[in-house]
Homo-oligomer: A and B are copies of this chain.
């Protein structure tokens, strides 16, 4: 059995947006009890991440880390058509994930206790982001 649906997320700029609740409820609604939930972001300047879901400092530290890895406006970047955060957004995307798969066990995503699913917006301006869920199983 396969169920697909699209999540629309309006971001308000750089930062993380938790999707765990929407994904769990799509899985519940699918009627699938064992299988895989695939999460796919249709963009190259925002990405997906499985990360610690308890302490907001983790997200702040990840921003700090990424801003050192690929600083906005770094002169090593020549692809700057959309501004100083254009190329850093692509770099952050390739260092994280565009797609994730989560096992479905007993009708739920079998996330660990401390695991949350996040969309990470890498552009400073807010964007409309679309995420395709495909739930496949029995």
Contacts and interface: CB of A to CB of B under 8 A. Distances in A.
Q: How large is the interface on A (under 10, 10 to 19, 20 to 34, 35 or more residues)?
A: 35 or more
Chain copies in the assembled complex: 3
Interface string A80-95: 0100000100110111
Interface stretch (A7-15, A17-25, A97-105): A97-105
Contacts of A49: 94
A26 interface: no
Given A52-B44, A52-B90, A62-B94, A34 B2 contact: yes
Given A40-B110, A55-B79, A62-B90, 12 more contacts: A2-B35, A35-B136, A43-B115, A57-B79, A60-B79, A61-B87, A61-B91, A65-B70, A69-B69, A94-B95, A95-B95, A95-B96
